[in-house]
Amino acid sequence: MDLSIVIPLFNEEESLPELTAWIDKVCVANNITYEAILIDDGSSDNSWDVVMKLSKENPNIKGISFRRNYGKSAALNVGFEQVVGDVVMTMDADLQDSPEEIPEMVKMIKEDGFDIVSGWKKKRYDPLTKTIPTKLFNWATRKMSGIELNDFNCGLKSYKRQVVKSIEVYGEMHRYIPVIAKWAGFTKIGEKVVAHQERKYGVTKFGLERFVNGFLDLFSISFLGKFGKRPMHFFGLIGTIMFFIGFLFSVWIGIDKLFLDKTGTLLANRAGFFIALAAMIIGVQMFLAGFLGEMISRNNPKRNTYLIKEKANIVEL
Ligand code: UDP
Ligand code: MG
Distance CA 291, CA 296 (A): 9
Q: Examine the domain organization and report whether 154 and 275 are in the same domain.
A: no
Q: Examine the domain organization and report whether 222 and 238 are in the same domain.
A: no
Q: Examine the domain organization and report whether 143 and 15 are in the same domain.
A: yes
pLDDT exceeds cutoff 90 at 305: no
DSSP string across 141-161: HHHHH----S-TT-S-EEEEH
Q: What is the pLDDT of residue 275?
A: 95
pLDDT exceeds cutoff 90 at 300: no
pLDDT band at 131 (very low <50, low <70, confident <90, very high): confident
Q: What pLDDT, in 10s, does the model give residues 16-51?
A: 999 999 999 999 999 999 999 999 999 999 999 999
Q: Examine the domain organization and report whether 22 and 165 are in the same domain.
A: yes
Last residue of a domain, which of 172, 194, 226? Answer: 226
Q: What is the pLDDT of residue 55?
A: 97
In a domain, 310, yes or no: no
The domain of 262 spans 231-298
What percentage of the chain carries pLDDT values higher than 70? 100
Q: Is the CB of 109 under 6 A from ligand 1?
A: no
Q: What pLDDT, in 10s, does the model give residues 113-123?
A: 999 999 999 99
Q: Examine the domain organization and report whether 97 and 192 are in the same domain.
A: yes
What percentage of the chain carries pLDDT values higher than 90? 78
Q: Examine the domain organization and report whether 188 and 250 are in the same domain.
A: no
Q: What is the pLDDT of residue 209?
A: 86
Q: What pLDDT, in 10s, does the model give residues 150-169?
A: 999 999 999 999 999 999 99
In a domain, 88, yes or no: yes
Give the position, in ligand 1's atom list, of the atom nearest the Cα of 91.
15
Q: What pLDDT, in 10s, does the model give residues 189-243?
A: 999 999 999 888 999 998 888 888 888 999 999 898 889 889 999 999 999 999 9
Last residue of a domain, which of 211, 226, 241? Answer: 226
In a domain, 308, yes or no: no
In a domain, 239, yes or no: yes
Give the pLDDT mean for 120-143: 90
In a domain, 100, yes or no: yes
Give the pLDDT mean for 56-64: 97
Q: What is the pLDDT of residue 238?
A: 96
CA 71 / ligand 1 centre spacing (Å)? 8
Its pTM stands at 0.88
In a domain, 95, yes or no: yes
CB atoms within 10 A of CB 132: 11
Q: What pLDDT, in 10s, does the model give residues 61-95?
A: 999 999 999 999 999 999 999 999 999 999 999 99
In a domain, 248, yes or no: yes
With CA atoms as reference, report the closest residue to 145 among 223, 210, 211, 222.
Answer: 222
Average pLDDT of the chain is: 94
Q: Examine the domain organization and report whether 135 and 270 are in the same domain.
A: no
The CATH number covering residue 78 comes to 3.90.550.10
With CA atoms as reference, report the closest residue to 192 among 116, 111, 85.
Answer: 116
Instruction: Give the total number of structural domains in the chain.
Output: 2
Last residue of a domain, which of 226, 241, 261? Answer: 226
Q: Examine the domain organization and report whether 184 and 122 are in the same domain.
A: yes
The three-state secondary structure class of 190 is strand
Q: What is the pLDDT of residue 287?
A: 96
94, 121, 173: residue to mutate for ligand 1 pocket, most atoms within 8 A of CB: 94
> CA-based angle 170:109:100, to the nearest 5?
90
Q: Is the CB of 201 under 6 A from ligand 1?
A: no
Q: Examine the domain organization and report whether 29 and 154 are in the same domain.
A: yes
